[in-house]
Amino acid sequence: MTTLTYRDALNAALREEMRRDPNVFLMGEEVGVYQGAYKVSRGLLDEFGPMRVVDTPITELGFAGVGVGAAMVGLRPVIEFMTWNFALLAIDQLVNSAAKMRYMSAGQVGVPAVFRGPGGAALQLGAQHSQAFEAYYAHIPGLKVVMPATPADAKGLLKSAIRDPDPVVFIEGEMLYNVKGEVPDGEQVIPLGLADIKRAGRDVTIVCHSKSVAVSLRAAEQLAAEGIEAEVVDLRTIRPLDEATVLESVAHTHRCVVVEEGWHFAGVGAQVVDVVQRDAFDQLDAPVLRVTGADVPMPYNKFLERAAKADPEKVVGAVRDVLYQS
C-alpha cells in the first residue's frame, strides 16, 4: 500500500493508462502547461507531450465535441472540465451525441470517452459553482456515472472508466483532492457498478456517495457512541446502481437513510428509495428517510451555506427517526 492524496491517485491512474494505451489522451482547459486547475495532470505534459496532453480554449461545448469525435474513430479521450458547473455548456455533446451514438448506430459506433472533473460544493463559491449534477447525468440512458469518495476508489474507478467501451461521466469531489488514503500498489482496477461497504453495522443502513461518505462515516461514529451501529454503503457508481448490495444491507438492518449532497427533488436518493421500497418493503421496520442539500441555490454566506449542506448532525437525526428514538 502507498498513501496518496485523492489528487495524486487520479494522476497515477491517468499516467498508468496513458503508458498502457497510446490511444489514451487528456484534453481540457489548463491541463498541460498549468498542470490542471486542481493539479490532477501534474507532470503529464512532460512525459507524454502536447499531442496527448492538449490545452484547449475556454470552449466546453467545442472540446467535448472533439472528444466525442475522437472516440468515434478509435481514440480514448479523457476530457477534463475545470468544474462540472462549466460543463453545462457541453451537455448537448454528452446527452445528444456521446450517450446515444451506440444506440443510434445500431451498435456500430461506440464512444469510449471519459468526461471528468470536480463537482458539488466547496467553500463559499456561490450558487453557480456549487452544484451536484449527478442526478442529471444518471437520468440519461447510455451514460455511466461514477463518483469515488476515497483515493483508492478514485484510482481504481478511473482506470476502469478509461477502459470502458462507452461514455463515462466521472465526477470528482471538489473538497476531496487533498484527502489522503491508502492505495494498493500495482494494477488496481475497480469494476464500475459495484458499491462498497465502508463500515459494517447492524442497526441501520446509510446509503451515500462521494463527499457524503465522509459525512456519513462521521455520523456513524457519533451513533456508535450511543450504541447504534450504522452500516455505511458507498454507492461509488450512480449508474449502473448496485441495487444488490443496498438490498442485502437493508435486509440485514431493516432500516435505511439515504444521504446525498444534491437537491431533494428527483435526486439520486429518490432512485435508491424506489429500489428499497419496491424490493425490500417487507424487510423494512420504518420508512426510508433522505438527508439532502437544501432546496435552494447554494448561498454564498458561510453560515447559510453550512445550513444548506447535509452534515453529520442531520444524518444522526434521520437515523434516530428511523429507529424511533427522536
- Catalytic machinery residues: 60, 129
Q: Which three cell numbers stand for residue 197?
A: 461497504
Q: CA-CA distance, 85 to 128, in Å (whole number)? A: 7
What does each C-alpha distance from 186 to 4, 79, 104, 261 come to in angstroms? Answer: 13, 25, 38, 32
Find the radius of gyration of the CA atoms of the chain.
20
Residues 6+ apart with CB under 8 A from 29: 37, 55, 56, 57, 58, 63, 80, 82
3-state secondary structure of 267: coil
Q: Which three cell numbers stand for residue 268?
A: 439520486
CB 216: neighbour CB atoms within 10 A? 29
**In the 3-class helix/strand/coil scheme, how is 274-288 assigned residue by residue?**
HHHHHHCHHHCCCCC
CB 269 within 8 A of CB 212: no
